[in-house]
Amino acid sequence: MSTLAPPGSTAAATSAVGQRRPGRRGRRDGLTAHQLFLIPVAAVFVVLFVIPLGQTAYWSFTDFSGYSTDVTFVGLKNYRLILSDASMLAGLTFTILFAIGTTLLVTVVAVPLAVALNRRFLGRNLVRSVFFFPSVPSLAILGLVWGYILSPLGSGVLNSALEKLFGAGPVPWLSDANLARGSVIAVAVWGTAGWHAVLYLAYLQSIPAEYYEVATLDGASALQQFRRITLPLLTPAIVISQFLLMTGGLKVFDLPYTLTKGGPGYATQTITQSIITSGVGQGRYGLASALAVVFTIAVAAFSIGQLLVSRRIERSVL
């Protein structure tokens, strides 16, 4: 016959010891096990990021052409060239404009679109698919397609439609500097807004319906419900979306290159295109390395600043 061990007996003490939290040694063993899992990731990070970044920083102080082993140390000459080269400054300016413009416009378009798609109506799934479809092909393919649509010639699809409907002459969508910048940003917004709307839609569906029912009973309008309930609870999704948009915009290459080739002039040339053109096309690997270093520092500064601001906003709202 089994008996229950009274408190203070050896069995009770053994049971208590068995349920005791792991001591310092146990935590140290667990921490060591976790660190072992990080070794492959750290090795890949060092091989694919740290070493190439160190090599790039070294080549940025030389006149290395990428093809010859005859290398001369030139100090900060390449960095001074970046600040005096019109194409480099144009690439840096348009890249920042593209990143900020697409981040703001996609957010302005995607949030209301997600709210509208979250409502019940006939054909809702089909409409969701239509808005999501532009995000399926790559931006390079979208650039090629929109190149025919926005062709500045009279044979362009959009210019032909404008001429037939309104008798308007050919509009230089891609041959005027300002129109070309606006066209590139507009195509990028059209191609990515649907994907980010789906991201917001996932967060919207996690908001309890009781919140809106109580607000409706209290007489809150649709706009008040959006400002007081929807927008604050969407803050984490907005933070994620804007972080992805900003980092993606800073390293963009495919859409501007396939749509305008960086033209007219250097109006839509991005910083990544400048790096490739200088390093591979012109054989100025040292100059391209200096530009890559500056670009890396700028992206890191943008990302850290955006994270700090996003966390502050998220803590103040939630």
Long-range contacts of 203-210 (CB under 8 A, 24+ apart): 203/233, 203/234, 203/236, 203/237, 204/114, 204/115, 204/118, 204/230, 204/234, 205/118, 207/233
Give the single-character DSSP code of 73.
Answer: B
Closest by CA to 95, choosing from 239, 202, 240, 246, is: 246
Query: How much is the average pLDDT of 270-299?
Result: 86
Question: What is the predicted pLDDT for the residue at 70?
Answer: 79
End-to-end distance of the chain based on CA atoms, in angstroms?
Answer: 58
Integer-rounded Cα radius of gyration of the chain: 28
Question: What is the predicted pLDDT for the residue at 98?
Answer: 94
Q: What global pTM score does this model have?
A: 0.79
- Paired tokens of 284: 């100025």
Question: What is the predicted pLDDT for the residue at 16?
Answer: 46
User: For the segment 213-266, what is each residue's pLDDT rounded down to a tens digit?
Assistant: 898 898 888 888 888 888 888 888 888 898 889 888 888 888 999 998 888 888
Question: What is the predicted pLDDT for the residue at 164?
Answer: 86
